């Protein structure tokens, strides 16, 4: 196996492992569990959840907007040529 391929596979496995570990830590820490949260902690967890949802929604809309703008420009170009 080529050394570059070995490095790529190693990086892939390392990224997968790091992502899994960091993603599962909040499930094990009591502070992050919404049932155990009261008062200020509940508000902070709610804010974090809303922020994460906004990030995903914004990324989705930006991706969709880029494709839509390309399609609109193509259609406008066709209409102007007629």
Three-class SS of 8-59 = HHHHHHHHHHHHHHHHHHHHHCHHHCCCCCCCHHHHHHHHHHHHHHHHHHHH
pTM reported for the whole predicted model: 0.48
Direct distance between the N- and C-terminal alpha carbons of the chain, in angstroms, rounded to an integer: 57
Choose between 67 and 32: higher pLDDT: 67
Q: What is the rounded CA–CA span in Å between residue 75 and residue 82?
A: 11
6 and 42 co-located in one domain? no
Which residue matches tokens 């995903």?
56
Provide the pLDDT for residue 33: 65
What percent of the chain shows pLDDT beyond 70?
A: 89
Which range marks the domain in which residue 61 is found? Answer: 35-82
Mean pLDDT of the chain: 85
- pLDDT single digits (tens) 25-65: 777 776 666 666 677 777 887 888 899 899 999 999 998 98
45 and 16 co-located in one domain? no
Widest pairwise Cα distance in the chain? 65
Q: How many domains in the chain?
A: 2
């Amino acid at each position: 196996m080529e050394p570059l391929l070995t490095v790529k596979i190693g990086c892939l496995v390392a990224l997968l492992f790091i992502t899994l570990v960091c993603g599962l830590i909040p499930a094990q820490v009591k502070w992050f569990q919404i049932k155990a949260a009261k008062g200020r902690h509940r508000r902070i967890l709610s804010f974090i959840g809303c922020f994460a949802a906004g990030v995903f929604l914004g990324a989705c809309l930006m991706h969709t907007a880029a494709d839509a703008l390309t399609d609109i420009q193509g259609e406008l170009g066709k209409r102007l040529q007629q």
